């Protein structure tokens, strides 16, 4: 296939670029590098199956030649980013989704949206199945990200129903691994940077809030299976092994082999108290479930961060 991949220089996008090329596909990697990083894809440049285009998908997209699939991963997914760039976040979720769907419609291509577990907001149901409608504050500071993705999902399914486009929606839960950006506001790089730097670990709230961490290679497996499937409705992709932030802090210290003081700060507004995917649908429809446990994934990630110093 010839694939248009937006956000292809980002953390997840760069790993997906590699996997698609390995599978024999040609990639048009589109990214405006506001949060993506060229170093993530430097090793792919020069590959005849890889083309990089510096472009903001919130603006009109024009692609010459055939396109068999459009994968829309462009987004400002970190709290630091969507709080700093609230309007850009809304635009990439709305205008960016509209523009990429336009390419899929014009080219007769299949389409995959990278959505998020944040569509569930601060959930009143745990674990969260795809049938749960969520508990989102639409006007809170996190609403720019949550609602941009909820709108994107609605738009994708509208194109599926109105134009017959073969659409896929991946609701991605907390994912970690090599190429995460330092200091991007997410707990994995924050803790790892702090432990490597000999700093205290910053825990927001009392640390009892939970997350479910999926290693990036497992997520990429799920995205590839979803792309190749005939499933059009949203599918949760994440690791159902739930851990509290305090437990996670201790795991980071254990894998890193270093002790650190824990300091507590105020919990951000509308921060979810629980986060755990129900992956029954992914198991049944895609034959997918995570393989990499937290200790193994953290060891790989910490090693990468140390080598990056």
- Residues of the chain with pLDDT > 90, as a percent, come to 98
**Mean pLDDT of all residues in the chain?**
97
Under the banding of pLDDT at 50, 70 and 90, the label for residue 183 is confident
Boundaries of every domain in the chain: 2-175+215-239+276-291, 187-209+242-275+296-308
Amino acid 224: pLDDT: 98
pLDDT confidence tier of residue 108, bands split at 50, 70 and 90: very high
What pLDDT, in 10s, does the model give residues 187-220? 999 999 999 999 999 999 999 999 999 999 999 9
pLDDT of residue 5: 99
SS3 assignment, position 160: helix
Average pLDDT of the segment spanning 295-306: 97
Confidence of residue 159 (pLDDT cuts 50, 70, 90): very high
- The total number of residues shown for the chain amounts to 309
Q: Is 134 left (phi over 0), alpha (psi -120 to 50) or beta?
A: left
* Alpha-carbon torsion (81, 82, 86, 89), positive or negative: positive
**Per DSSP, what are the bridge partners of residue 262?**
201
Enumerate the active-site residues.
145
List C-alpha distances in Å: 293 to 216, 238, 259, 262. 11, 12, 22, 24
**Is residue 309 pLDDT above 90, yes or no?**
no
CA-based nearest residue to 72, from 147, 134, 16, 142:
16
Answer whether 72's CB lies under 8 Å from 83's CB: no
Domain 2-175+215-239+276-291: give its CATH code.
3.40.50.720
Question: CATH topology of 2-175+215-239+276-291 equal to that of 187-209+242-275+296-308?
Answer: no
Domain 187-209+242-275+296-308 fold is UDP-galactose 4-epimerase; domain 1 (3.90.25)
């Amino acid at each position: 296939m010839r694939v248009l991949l937006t956000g292809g220089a980002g953390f997840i996008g760069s790993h997906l670029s590699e996997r698609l090329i390995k599978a024999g596909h040609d990639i048009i990697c589109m990214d405006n590098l506001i949060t993506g990083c060229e170093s993530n894809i430097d090793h792919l440049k020069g590959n005849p199956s890889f083309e990089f285009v510096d472009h903001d998908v919130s603006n009109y997209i024009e692609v010459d030649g055939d396109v068999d699939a459009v994968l829309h991963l462009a987004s400002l997914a970190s709290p630091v980013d969507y709080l700093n760039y609230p309007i850009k976040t809304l635009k990439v979720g709305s205008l960016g989704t509209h523009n990429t769907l336009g390419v899929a419609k014009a080219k007769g291509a299949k389409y995959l949206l990278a959505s998020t577990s944040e569509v569930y907001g601060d959930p009143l149901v745990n674990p969260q199945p795809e049938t749960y409608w969520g508990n989102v504050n639409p006007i809170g500071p996190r609403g720019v990200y949550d609602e941009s993705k909820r709108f994107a999902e609605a738009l994708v399914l509208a194109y599926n129903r109105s134009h017959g486009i073969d659409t896929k929606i991946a609701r991605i839960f907390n994912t970690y691994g090599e190429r995460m950006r330092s200091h991007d506001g997410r707990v994995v790089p924050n803790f790892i940077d702090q432990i490597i730097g000999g700093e205290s670990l910053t825990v927001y709230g009392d640390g009892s809030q939970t997350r479910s961490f999926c290693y990036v290679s497992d997520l990429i497996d799920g995205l590839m299976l979803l792309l190749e499937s005939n499933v059009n409705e949203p599918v949760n992709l994440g690791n159902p092994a739930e851990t509290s932030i305090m437990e996670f802090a201790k795991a980071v210290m254990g894998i890193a082999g270093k002790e650190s003081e824990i300091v507590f700060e105020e919990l951000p507004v509308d921060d979810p108290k629980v986060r755990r995917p129900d992956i029954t649908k992914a198991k049944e429809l895609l034959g997918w479930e995570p393989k990499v446990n937290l200790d193994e994934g953290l060891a790989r990630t910490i090693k990468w961060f140390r080598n990056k110093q």
